[in-house]
Each structure stands twice: as C-alpha cells, then as structure tokens.
C-alpha cells in the first residue's frame, strides 16, 4: 500500500473482515505504548475492508526469523553457511518479550496467545509483541478446535486454560515458558511435537491430577540448567508458584547472560 500518512515511516497495513474483532483489537492496541509492543499508527473504519496501520517490523515474525538461522559455533561461524545467531542474542530476545509482557501485566492485560509467531522482529534484533490474528492462517497447525469452543493454541496453553478456560497473567507466564523454549530451539520443531493434539489435552489432565505423570518440554540443547529450571517454574501446576514477568525479565536480562 502507498504510505500517504507517514511518508518517512515504514508501516504495515493489516485488513480484517470481522468488524467486532477488529474494533476490539484497535481498542486494546490504542492503550499499549511500550518499546516491546507493536505500535498502532492509525485505523480505517469508514469503508470495508477495515484496516489498521502499524509500524513495520522488517524481519517478520520471530518464528520464521529463527527457523532460518542456526546457532553460532564457538568460532562465530556456520558450517552450513546459513545465517547464525548467538546464544546471548537468543536470551536477549526472550528478555525483551518478558519486558513487554511485564508491561501488559502492569495493566492487568492477559494476552492469551503468546508465542514466537506473535512476536515481530525489527532492526538490531528488536522484538515487539503483537497479535492481530494474522498468524491464524499461516500457523493453522498450531491451533486446535476443542469441541464446543474456539480454535485454541493448546500447545502453548496452561493446563487450567485447556481444562477450565481460565486465562490469567499466570497462564501467560506458562505460554512465555513455551515461547522461550521455542526461541532456544530456534523454532525447529513444534512444542510437544511427539504428542498428538489429543495427547496434549490428556497431558493437561495429568497436570490437573498431579500424580507425577505429566510430560514437560525437554531441555533444549546448549540451554543452561538454570534457564531450563526457570522454564519449569513457568510450568508449575499452581499458578501462584509461577514467576512474575518482572522476575523473568530481570533473570534473563542479567543472570542468564552472565552464564554464557
């Protein structure tokens, strides 16, 4: 689209056919002003299709960005010649997401669909959290329709979300743990790739029953034990035992980088 409103600013124009969903999204986004949240620049509601204008993130979504990279070796190169990314940079990506989510938590805002597919990458590995429903078609395999309910990203959802439909800031922390796992895996596989969708739902039941039979995502290669233990805390059965986003941001921004 021609950028008449902001001639010197890269923008992204997103069109949505569902008016109610669109207006709800715009109302939410108009309140969110943070360095790690994608910025809403304008809307068009007079004619169809409805459109919103946001800042443009040149490297696309984090899932596609990371899946095109491999981890930098000790010499700082890549045996295959593919683009590389360092472990400290991966942790920095996670820290930025935690910072953005801490801002949302300060507003008592629950995201409900945090994942690498809903994070955008700009210049200099800048990360901004988004969710315009844009990823639903591109990542249809990440969503599952539970009988009588909406299509849901069950592999990122806390057990209480799947079984009871209870979404809180603590369930966003669970999703952050899965998102951090995606990042450290360079988005090379889907969470719980060894489980069918039905088995993922059954695993949520194991968390509810609390008999020690629940399955956790495995520790990513090269992931320090302390970082993995923090992920496991994100997946604690009791919501009150999960860390806050403020704590996660401090841990990743300070402690984790010192381990590398």
Q: 29 or 68: which carries more pLDDT confidence?
A: 68
Architecture per CATH, 1-56: 2-Layer Sandwich (3.30)
State the pLDDT at residue 5.
46
Residue 22 has pLDDT above 90, yes or no: no
pTM for the full model? 0.86
State the pLDDT at residue 28.
78
Contact 180, 145 (CB under 8 A): no
Q: Which one, of 203, 205, 183, lies nearest residue 194 by Cα? A: 203
| Known catalytic membership, residue 73 | no
Q: Quickly tell me which residue has 């695993």 as its tokens.
A: 203
Same CATH topology for 1-56 and 57-258: the answer is: no
Q: What CA–CA distance (Å, rounded) separates 179 from 233?
A: 14
* Catalytic-role residue among 61, 113, 142, 172: 113
pLDDT in tens, 33-76: 999 999 888 887 777 777 778 888 999 999 999 999 999 886 65
CATH (residue range 57-258): 1.10.510.10
Would you list the domain boundaries of the chain? 1-56, 57-258
pLDDT category at 244 given cuts 50, 70, 90 is very high
3 state SS for 180-238: HHHHHCCCCCCCCCCCCHHHHHHHHHHHHHCCCCCCCCCCCCCCCHHHHHHHHHHCCCC
Is the Cα dihedral 142, 183, 95, 129 positive or negative? negative
């Amino acid at each position: 689209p021609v950028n008449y409103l902001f001639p010197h600013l890269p923008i992204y124009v997103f069109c949505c056919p569902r008016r109610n969903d669109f207006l709800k999204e715009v109302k939410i986004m108009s309140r969110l002003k943070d360095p790690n949240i994608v910025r809403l620049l304008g809307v068009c509601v007079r004619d169809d299709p409805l459109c919103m204008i946001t800042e443009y993130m040149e490297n696309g979504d984090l899932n596609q960005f990371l899946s095109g990279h491999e981890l930098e070796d000790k010499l700082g190169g890549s045996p295959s010649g593919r683009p590389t990314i360092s472990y400290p940079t991966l942790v920095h990506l996670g820290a930025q997401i935690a910072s953005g989510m801490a801002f949302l938590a300060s507003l008592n805002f629950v995201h409900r669909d945090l994942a690498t597919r809903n994070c955008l990458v700009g210049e200099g590995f800048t990360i901004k959290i988004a969710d315009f429903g844009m990823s639903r078609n591109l990542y249809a395999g990440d969503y599952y329709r539970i009988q009588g309910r909406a299509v849901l990203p069950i592999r990122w959802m806390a057990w209480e979300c799947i079984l009871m439909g209870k979404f809180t800031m603590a369930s966003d922390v669970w999703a952050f743990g899965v998102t951090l796992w995606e990042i450290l895996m360079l988005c090379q596989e889907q969470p719980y790739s060894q489980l069918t969708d039905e088995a993922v739902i059954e695993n949520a039941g194991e968390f509810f029953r609390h008999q020690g039979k629940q399955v956790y995502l495995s520790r990513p290669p090269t992931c320090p034990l302390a970082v993995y233990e923090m992920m496991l805390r994100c997946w604690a059965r009791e919501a009150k035992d999960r860390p806050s986003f403020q704590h996660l941001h401090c841990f990743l921004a300070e402690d984790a980088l010192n381990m590398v």
